[in-house]
């Protein structure tokens, strides 16, 4: 027995076929719109997740440390904190201390900068005023005011790391702050 919408041969009448097609196209269009609606946030999530892999490190960033007037004229080193925006994989921390630098007036009054991190094991060296040199508290290694190792038995694989210094506006001392790998004899910048 045939339904009123079908003829004697079992074919659907033209109006019913048109309704079926419209239903199919409406469902297909809804499926495409839904897929696009889910694809956009999913792609954004993938990009946000992979963002840290595409970022370059902040190594070698120029930081304003002090002015020439703040450096002792006799060549005594003075420690200054390195403060800059810090980022980890997904967070940003504005204006945080990320390390420190010893600055001193070198030959002809030109400032010299030394990274405070010992290349042996990454400990912070301290200026020992009584001996007029730097001392690493982790291994009792000593370094002169230019950062050169003192003593043949120093376990440090290299001298203290020096940093580039730039003078701006006649008295501002800017330092190219960066960290270096510890435990290796070569001076290799961390990314």
The per-residue pLDDT of the chain, averaged, comes to: 82
For residue 67, CA distances in Å to 70, 73, 96, 141 come to: 6, 12, 20, 30
- Please tell me whether residues 20 and 86 are part of one structural domain: no
- Please tell me whether residues 67 and 156 are part of one structural domain: yes
Q: What is the pLDDT of residue 51?
A: 63
Domain assignment present for residue 186? The answer is: no
Q: Return the CA Rg of the chain.
A: 33
Domain assignment present for residue 190? The answer is: no
- Please tell me whether residues 89 and 31 are part of one structural domain: no
Residue range of the domain that includes 11: 1-54
Q: Using one digit for the tens of pLDDT, what is the confidence trace for 148-168?
A: 998 876 788 999 999 999 999
Domains identified in the chain, total number: 2
- Please tell me whether residues 42 and 78 are part of one structural domain: no
Q: Using one digit for the tens of pLDDT, what is the confidence trace for 82-108?
A: 988 877 777 888 888 888 999 999 888
Confidence band (pLDDT; 50, 70, 90) for 52?
low
């Amino acid at each position: 027995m045939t339904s009123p919408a079908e003829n004697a041969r079992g074919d659907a009448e033209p109006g019913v076929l048109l309704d079926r097609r419209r239903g199919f196209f409406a469902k297909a269009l809804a499926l495409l719109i839904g897929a696009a609606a889910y694809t956009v946030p999913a792609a954004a999530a993938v990009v946000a997740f992979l963002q840290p892999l595409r970022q370059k490190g902040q190594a070698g960033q120029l930081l304003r440390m002090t002015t020439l007037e703040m450096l002792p004229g006799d060549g005594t080193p003075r420690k200054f904190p390195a403060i800059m925006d810090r980022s980890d994989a997904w967070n940003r921390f504005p204006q945080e201390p990320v390390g420190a630098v010893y600055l001193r007036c070198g030959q002809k009054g030109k400032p010299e900068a030394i990274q405070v991190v010992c290349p042996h094991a990454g400990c912070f060296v301290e200026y020992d005023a009584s001996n007029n040199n730097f001392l690493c508290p982790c291994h009792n290694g000593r370094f002169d005011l230019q950062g050169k190792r003192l003593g043949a038995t120093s376990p440090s694989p290299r001298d203290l790391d020096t940093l580039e210094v730039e003078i701006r506006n006649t008295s501002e001392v800017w330092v190219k702050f960066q960290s270096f790998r510890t435990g290796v004899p070569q001076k290799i910048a961390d990314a």
